[in-house]
Amino acid sequence: MKIYRHGDNYIAPKGAYFEGNVRICGNLILPAETHVWGRLDVDGNLELGPNSTVGGNVTCGSAVIGNGVKIKGSLEVLEDLTVCDKARIASLKAGGNIILRPGVVVGDVSSDETIFVYGKIKSGKLTGRNVKVLGN
């Protein structure tokens, strides 16, 4: 599958799929309905579009995970992480703040900073310096 490069940013076309593991030295933008069947390693920022899937573990510098994304493995982020509505992730670990939006289904969540929970989610253990629940 072809990935377009613009400086340190790599962009895949909508609906792209990758059969194996993916390693990117820079920032990666994956639009809606992109599928990675293996592991995903990104040195910089990751933007994973709505309704995308990753079959393995994900590591990156920072991330925004779109609506309805499914990550079957763990997600490890060095800095901040935002997980949008109705995403499903096996487990989360971040060095910075974590934002969890309504409808997120996740295993254990660990952060070196604050975990912000907006609305109702399903999760395992939440471990962080602070855990703030906002909304109902």
Q: What is the pLDDT of residue 14?
A: 86
Pairing of strands 81-83, 62-65: parallel
When pLDDT is cut at 50, 70 and 90, the band that residue 28 belongs to is: very high
Q: What is the pLDDT of residue 15?
A: 84
Domain ranges of the chain: 4-134
With a cut of 90, say whether residue 135 has pLDDT above it. Answer: no
CA distances in angstroms from 94 to 8, 19, 31, 67, 126, listed in the order given: 23, 27, 23, 19, 12
pLDDT tens, 42-71?
999 999 999 999 999 999 999 999 999 999
DSSP structure string for 56-90 = S-EEESEEEE-TT-EEEEEEEESS-EEE-TT-EEE
SS3 content of the chain, % helix, strand, coil (to 5): 0, 55, 45
Q: What is the pTM of this model?
A: 0.94
With a cut of 80, say whether residue 88 has pLDDT above it. Answer: yes
Tokens of 37: 């069947």
When pLDDT is cut at 50, 70 and 90, the band that residue 1 belongs to is: low
Residue 54 CA to residue 72 CA, distance in Å, equals 6
pLDDT tens, 93-121?
999 999 999 999 999 999 999 999 999 99
